[in-house]
Structure 1
C-alpha cells in the first residue's frame, strides 16, 4: 500500500499535520507552540505546496511539459534564499523558532523538484506530489532532530478537500480569531492593504465556513483553536490540541521552555482598540458566523 505521508515516532505513525486559518489568526503562534513538542518539527509558511498542487491538478489544457516548466520556475524562485524566507512580522511579534522556520536548503528543494517532474512525466502525479511534499518536510524534521512535522500555511483552510484527497491521513488545526481584531490586522499589512473592511470580513467568513465544512465531513481530523485561548490559557489549549491529535501531553514542559525565550503578552488582547464603525460593519457581515465561535 502506498504511504500517505505519515511519519513514524516510536511505534506510532504521526499523520501529516496542517495548520491554517484566516490571516492574522494565530497560525504562526500555533505552529511555533506545537513545534515545542519533542516529536513535532514546525515548518512555517510554504505557499509552494498549494501553488504546485494547483499547477498539477488544476492547470486545464496545459501539457505535462508546460506544467513541469512552470513548477521548476516556481520552485527556483521560492527556494532562491533558503533556508531564509521573507516575512511580514512586526517587531513585537516574537517566536521561539523565529519569524520563519524552514530548514531544507535550495539544493534539496530543487532536487525534490526534479524528482517530482520526472514523476509527472513518467508516473502518477498524485503520488509524486505526496512524495515531494513529505520528502521536503521530512528533511526539515531530520535537520531539526525530530521524527515528524507540522506545517502551517493560512490559505490551506480554503483548499481542504484537495489536501485531504492528496493526504488522506492528514489532520487539520484551524486557527480562529475575533474578526473585529483579525480583519483590521489584515488590512494593516502590505498584503491586505488593498482590501476593504467588507472584503476582509467576507474573507474571514469564507475561511470559517470552509473549515466548518471540512469538520462536518471529517470531524475526527479537525481541531479548532481560538487565538484568544492560545494567548490567555496556553497550557489548557495546547493540552487539548495534543489530545485531539493523539500525541503525548507535554504541554507543561513545552510552555516552560517556550517562556524561557518568549513572553506571552496576554494583556495585549484586552488592550486592543477597536474602531466602533469598523467593528459594526464587520458584525453586520460576519455576525451569524461569529456567534458560534463565542465572539459576541
Structure 2
C-alpha cells in the first residue's frame, strides 16, 4: 500500500560519507524530491532576526528576496522562478520554517512529487535548528568507515582542515548519531553504513524506504542516470555518483593515508569504528605529541559548540515569530488539494 506520509527528510553525516549518492538515490524515488545542496536553510536561520516581524508582508517579501535572489544562497540549483517563489513566500504562513518549506514544496511540485528532503552533511551539527522548524522531520545518518572518510576529505579542494580536524569531524558525526538514535527513536532517526549501501544497494534501500514509510522504488538503484544530468563534471569529487554503486573505494585509506595518519586516525576512532562494524588493522600507536594535538583540538571544538549552543538559546528569546513550519500534508500534485 502506498504511504501518504509527507514528513520532511534530512540526510546528515560526516562529509565524504556518500551523502550525495544517497541524495541522488532518494530523488530517484517516484514520491520524493531531493535537490542538491541549497545553502539557504542554516544561513536564513542564522539571519532570521534581521528580517523582522514576519506578520508584516514587507518582511516576508524581504525574506523571500533574500532566499531566492540573495548572493549567499544556492537557490539557482532548484531551477525555480525566483519571482514566483518570492510571491509564494509572501502568501505563506508568517514563520521562517513555512518560508523554507514553501521553497522545497515548490521544488517537489515541479517534479510532480508529494514529499521533499534536503541534504547537507554538516546538518548533524544543526539538528536542534531543524527540529525547531520541522518537528516532524525524519533524519537519515549515513556512516562511512572513518579512515576512508578522513582520507577522502583531505583530498577535497574545498577542505582547509588537516588530518586531526577531519578525524574529529567524523567522531563528532557518529557521536551525534548515537545520541540522536537514543533521543529520537526508530520512527524519526535511521542510521546505516555507506559500505552496505554500495555493496548491496537494493536491500539497503528497501530497509531505508520502510523507515520512511515508502514503498521501495527500483529506480533508486539507477540514480547514476539522474546524476549524470544534474551533477556537473567539474565537481570531480562527486563523479562517483555518475557510476552504478560499487565498492571500489572501500578501504582506499590504506593507500591514501600516510603511515602516521593511519596510526592516528585508527587509534583515536578505534572504539567507534568497532561499534559500527569496522575491523581494525592493528596499526601502530601514534606519538604522545600527536595525541596531545588531537585532544587539544577536541577540547577547543567542545568549547566552541557549547558557546554556540548558549548563543542560540539566547537568540531564541529574541525571535519575533515562531520558526516552526505551519505547512503540513503532502505537496499538492496532479490537481490534489493542499492540506496545509
For normalisation by structure 1, the TM-score amounts to: 0.75
**Residue of structure 1 in register with 2:278 after alignment:** 295
Give, in angstroms, the shift of residue 191 of structure 1.
2.3
- 1:275-290 mapped onto 2 (5 Å cutoff): 275=257, 276-290=259-273
2:33 counterpart SS class:
strand
**CA deviation map 1:87-146 (0-9, x unaligned):** xxxxxxxxxxxxxxx242333444456568x93xxxxxxxx1121111111110111121
Q: Are 2:266 and 1:274 equivalent residues in the alignment?
A: no
Give, in angstroms, the shift of residue 172 of structure 1.
0.2
Equivalent-residue separation in structure 2 for 1:255 and 1:20 (angstroms):
20
**Residue of structure 2 in register with 1:136 after alignment:** 103
Equivalent-residue separation in structure 2 for 1:184 and 1:146 (angstroms):
37
**Residue of structure 2 in register with 1:215 after alignment:** 181
Computing the radius of gyration from Cα coordinates, the structure with the larger value is: 2
- From 65, 80, 83, the equivalent of 2:76 is 83
Over the aligned positions, Cα root-mean-square deviation in angstroms equals: 2.9
Q: Give structure 1 regions of 4+ aligned residues with deviation exceeding 6 angstroms.
A: 68-71
- From 5, 19, 35, the equivalent of 2:11 is 19
Equivalent-residue separation in structure 1 for 2:73 and 2:263 (angstroms):
44
Give, in angstroms, the shift of residue 54 of structure 1.
2.1
**Is the Cα–Cα contact under 8 Å of residues 3 and 213 in structure 2 kept in the other structure?**
no
For normalisation by structure 2, the TM-score amounts to: 0.66
**Residue of structure 1 in register with 2:132 after alignment:** 165
Equivalent-residue separation in structure 1 for 2:144 and 2:209 (angstroms):
20
Give, in angstroms, the shift of residue 78 of structure 1.
4.3
Q: Are 2:178 and 1:186 equivalent residues in the alignment?
A: no
Equivalent-residue separation in structure 2 for 1:108 and 1:12 (angstroms):
27
Q: Label 1:236 to 1:78 Cα distance change in 2 as closer, same or farther (>3 A).
A: farther
Q: Label 1:290 to 1:105 Cα distance change in 2 as closer, same or farther (>3 A).
A: farther
Provide structure 1 residue ranges, at least 5 long, that are not aligned to the other structure.
1-8, 85-101, 120-127
Provide structure 2 residue ranges, at least 5 long, that are not aligned to the other structure.
54-58, 229-242, 280-340
**Is the Cα–Cα contact under 8 Å of residues 38 and 73 in structure 2 kept in the other structure?**
no
Q: Label 1:28 to 1:105 Cα distance change in 2 as closer, same or farther (>3 A).
A: farther
1:150 counterpart SS class:
strand
- From 33, 37, 44, the equivalent of 1:52 is 44
1:268 counterpart SS class:
coil
Give, in angstroms, the shift of residue 41 of structure 1.
1.2
Q: Label 1:40 to 1:287 Cα distance change in 2 as closer, same or farther (>3 A).
A: same
Q: Are 2:98 and 1:104 equivalent residues in the alignment?
A: no
Q: Label 1:271 to 1:208 Cα distance change in 2 as closer, same or farther (>3 A).
A: closer
**Is the Cα–Cα contact under 8 Å of residues 108 and 114 in structure 2 kept in the other structure?**
yes
Q: Label 1:147 to 1:74 Cα distance change in 2 as closer, same or farther (>3 A).
A: closer
Q: Label 1:221 to 1:186 Cα distance change in 2 as closer, same or farther (>3 A).
A: same
- From 218, 221, 225, the equivalent of 1:255 is 221
**Is the Cα–Cα contact under 8 Å of residues 197 and 205 in structure 2 kept in the other structure?**
yes
Give, in angstroms, the shift of residue 33 of structure 1.
0.7
1:151 counterpart SS class:
strand
